[in-house]
Structure 1
Amino acid sequence: MRRNMYSQNPEPLADASDTPQSSPWTAAMASTVGSVLEYYDFFVYGPMAALVFGTIFFPSSDPGVATLLALLTFAVGFVARPLGGVVIGHFGDRIGRKKMLMLTFFITGGVTVGIGCLPTFAQIGVWAPILLVTLRFIQGFGLGGEWGGAALLAVEHAPEGKRGFFGSLVQAGAPLGVILSSAVVALVTLMPREDLLTWGWRIPFLLSIVLVIFGLVLRMRLTETPDFEKAKDVQSQKKMPLVVALRRYPAQILSMIGLHVTDTTLGFMQGVFVLGFATTTLGISATTALIANISASVANLIVTPLAGAIADRIGPRRVLVTAIVVLALWAFPMFWLMETKSVLALFIVMTSNGMIVGTLFSQQASLFAKVLDPTVRYTGMSVGFQTATVIGGGFGPLIAQALQNSAGGATWSISTYLVIVALIGLVSSIYLTSQRASQKAHGSTPAEPTLQLTTTGLKES
């Protein structure tokens, strides 16, 4: 009989291969550096778009219009993510995780360096913003396929019983990327305004070449994941992994979206809306707010692998449900504390948010992989994750601002919104960690094809 997928020693997908495999730690490091680069790129671009790009790429008689146009290029990267997840996920399921991860690293790293080399509007006119938007779209496309492959690289190389921990290491790359980007941006913004606009803004983008080289060296040393190798024969029969994933696993993918929206909404709301709220409404200095945001990332970095290790021992459901309940209970006190205008309260809020986001984020690589067959994992995970990123990251801060405006500046509407997001995440997490989701993911319902282990490998029946 099939063992429960959440037992300490679940039944392996197939017999161990004689082919030498990369160590779990090497795979985890190669995956994590991609997550670091992803969040470094995004959180370098945001401040630079707000502070610099309106002036040098979108000159206008109205500074507000110029800044708005510059920030719209930030949104373009989010729009491209689901498309990248679908296309790159398709080939990741067909020809392998490693090949696609080499491609995504070339795309994202190359584009980031390319942005740092772009001529400005003063140099080539309207072609400057056109090139910026184009590069930003390509970057978002590449990033859309990065997470799914990186998560699978770590999880599918990890030993059974420790996939939660090794999957969480990929997620820990996110706060590390935020910390690095915040530090670099803080340093370059200390420059005189003229130097910043002339050449200083290029430094954060060009520095990403260090991460790119380090990541490529690590990824070139990797072997393909064991799960992909064992399912290769079935993989080759999947002409359209997206169609198969949506047909066989619609509830799982919707639940992935519902779960990931919780942490991405809180995380991007803090990184964008809460920072603005602290500086403009509460009168706290921008430097203090940025340092508080870094403290949140440090807390996130510490909690994420810890939560992953705990989930390996007690199961992901207890970890996720606890974090989601805390999020719902925290939604109102978070703003009550901030409205005291105390710097200490701001640090408590930011640090607490980082801990909640880290706990929620820690489980998603291993959990999403568990509820999908290897033949469609890359595609299904990428679609669910990136769609939620657009909803929570792309629209979350805008929704928060709109709710506050409609409530006359009051924050109760934003807190209510967070509670609703938490409730959706609660239902989604319970479903994903249920035996029902486990059975459907392994094709045990009579109406669906299953993957069966035979003497010649995996076959679909």
Structure 2
Amino acid sequence: MSAATPEGFTPTGTISTTQDRRRVVFATVIGTTVEWYDFFIYAQAAGLVFATLFFAPAGEGIAQLLSFLTVGISFLFRPLGAFLAGHLGDRYGRRLVLMLTLVLMGASTTLVGLLPTHAAIGIAAPILLITLRIVQGISAGGEWGGAVLMAVEHAPKDKRGLFGASPQIGVPLGLLLASGIMALVAIPGPEWFLEWGWRIPFLLSVVLIVIGAYIRRRVEESPVFTELAERKEQTRMPIVQLFRKHAVLVIIAALVFAGNNAVGYMTTGGYIQRYATDPEGPIGLAPADVLGAVTLSGASWLVFTWIGGWISDLIGRRTTYVIGWVLQLVGALLLFPLVDTGAIGMLTLALIVLTVGLGLTYGPQAALYTELFPASIRFSGVSISYAIGAILGGAFAPTIAQAIVQSTGSTTGVTVYLAAMTGLGLLGTLLLRDRRGIPLGPDHEAEQAQSPVYGLSKA
């Protein structure tokens, strides 16, 4: 494509003022923080109270499995959200999708906080809970791709990893906020928490929606999409084009995220919270103490996520990932041996060590994914790859871990599972070429269409 840049258009990868740069970064951080706060408080509650309040008639062991399954079931609907958001984002813009996903996530989260329990309305309670969790999954499936493209497509080409880390940081910030508020409402005691306390974090979502929507409305559309729209070059059926030409790339990119997501969901999916606080289990720590440890690990994850994005601009996405996978493996191998000591200090140390590798394999992901796909189908590509990776990785990781421990009476099998998923992520990374600095605008679609997968000239 050789059309001239439209008059008055800001070129791809530039931001005219420092104020605009801060606005883009702030909007992506705040927006994803709100989205993932909503997503994580559900996972926290699934590990701590939903089994008792919504699934108790199934019996203790089955109730907890069902509770964790509701965490995982939302992932099955992430591809639907990714398909819808990808189509809308490639056809009508990144900014529109970000507003829609924020409101959808916030509304469903607030309604969870208002749900009657099984004791009040019977089987309707878990059905409503699952329905709202599905809505959360649809929203999460569309949110990430839009936030990532807004950040990276606005960024100077030598700072894409750093800019791309801003929506990535929103995830540990969401965990930090969710765990912190859950820890605060758990302080008055288990009875209060079980009866009323758990609802407060869900209801606070209303305030966060208003703040997030206000900030996102002030951000300009991505320059890549603006140029596509000016030239009327949006793809009519972006998803069809994606799978026709780039199916292998989508699967490999999904494997990269799956390796990170499965290990990360030991904390973000609520499994460690449940395992460490189960009064009938081997540890039996206080919920407030465990939530405090998870909160500290969220802060550590944030730092190493930012470092991962920053370093990837210096040494490349692929190299940063490989280092991250090695460190993540170390964290996975140490996790349960340290947690099983039963000491809150060791549990905290285990979670913080785990976040080093998790951060280095998550911080560069926004820039990596953005540089993998052509401009005209990029929203669809990054969103669907992310959604599939989430299903393969974190969707049922807590359920798998719970089933392994229940059937074997040991956490050794969980450690093997986490190590295997880390290896899968490393394999996906090694199959990809590093495309750091590749032009992102529609003028370079031919170059972008060359497959970054080793052994393939085109996807």
TM-score (norm 1): 0.84
2:448 counterpart (429, 434, 442): 442
Q: Which amino acid aligns with 1:314?
A: I
* 1:424 maps to 2:411: no
Post-superposition offset of 1:64? 5.2
Change over 3 Å in CA distance of 1:107–1:443 after alignment to 2: same
Matched residue, 2:264: 267
Change over 3 Å in CA distance of 1:158–1:330 after alignment to 2: same
Partner SS for 2:394: helix
Post-superposition offset of 1:91? 0.9
- The 2-side partners of 1:340 and 1:115 are apart by 35
Matched residue, 1:323: 324
**Identical amino acids, percent of aligned pairs:** 36
Map residues 94-243 of structure 1 onto 2, 5 A cutoff.
94-120=91-117, 126-191=123-188, 195-196=192-193, 199-232=196-229, 236=233, 238-243=235-240
Conservation of the 8 A alpha-carbon contact between 1:182 and 1:290 = yes
Matched residue, 1:256: 253
* 1:83 maps to 2:80: yes
Map residues 275-314 of structure 1 onto 2, 5 A cutoff.
275-279=273-277, 280-314=281-315
Change over 3 Å in CA distance of 1:60–1:344 after alignment to 2: closer
- The 2-side partners of 1:329 and 1:354 are apart by 11
Conservation of the 8 A alpha-carbon contact between 2:259 and 2:426 = no
- The 1-side partners of 2:164 and 2:393 are apart by 21
Q: Which amino acid aligns with 1:393?
A: G
Q: Deviations over 1:186-228 (max 9, x none)?
A: 2222346665455443311111122211111111111110111
Map residues 381-400 of structure 1 onto 2, 5 A cutoff.
381-400=382-401
Q: Which amino acid aligns with 1:390?
A: I
Partner SS for 1:309: helix
- The 2-side partners of 1:427 and 1:324 are apart by 10
Conservation of the 8 A alpha-carbon contact between 1:253 and 1:384 = yes
- The 2-side partners of 1:402 and 1:64 are apart by 10
Post-superposition offset of 1:51? 4.1
- The 2-side partners of 1:238 and 1:369 are apart by 17
Post-superposition offset of 1:130? 3.4
Conservation of the 8 A alpha-carbon contact between 2:76 and 2:137 = yes
Q: Deviations over 1:408-435 (max 9, x none)?
A: 5251x33333332222222222333346
- Deviating more after overlay: 375-384 vs 59-68: 59-68
Post-superposition offset of 1:310? 1.7
- The 1-side partners of 2:304 and 2:63 are apart by 39
Conservation of the 8 A alpha-carbon contact between 1:264 and 1:389 = yes
- The 2-side partners of 1:350 and 1:361 are apart by 16
Conservation of the 8 A alpha-carbon contact between 1:101 and 1:150 = yes
* 1:364 maps to 2:354: no
- Deviating more after overlay: 46-55 vs 34-43: 46-55
Q: Deviations over 1:238-294 (max 9, x none)?
A: 232112112222232122111111221111124434444444334544443332222
Post-superposition offset of 1:436? 12
Q: Deviations over 1:7-66 (max 9, x none)?
A: xxxxxx985862466823212221122221222112211233444445554563845555
Matched residue, 1:18: 8
Matched residue, 2:442: none
Change over 3 Å in CA distance of 1:244–1:433 after alignment to 2: same
Matched residue, 1:452: none
Gaps of 5+ in 1: 1-12, 450-461
Change over 3 Å in CA distance of 1:262–1:235 after alignment to 2: farther
- The 2-side partners of 1:424 and 1:331 are apart by 14
Matched residue, 1:455: none
Conservation of the 8 A alpha-carbon contact between 1:154 and 1:167 = yes
- The 2-side partners of 1:328 and 1:136 are apart by 31
Q: How many residues of Structure 1 are paired with residues of Structure 2 in the alignment?
A: 437
- Deviating more after overlay: 311-320 vs 340-349: 340-349
Compute the RMSD of aligned alpha carbons. Answer: 3.2
Conservation of the 8 A alpha-carbon contact between 1:296 and 1:355 = no
- The 2-side partners of 1:62 and 1:400 are apart by 19
Conservation of the 8 A alpha-carbon contact between 1:33 and 1:211 = no
Post-superposition offset of 1:297? 0.9
Matched residue, 1:5: none
Change over 3 Å in CA distance of 1:70–1:335 after alignment to 2: closer
- The 2-side partners of 1:227 and 1:104 are apart by 21
Conservation of the 8 A alpha-carbon contact between 2:74 and 2:138 = yes
Gaps of 5+ in 2: 439-444
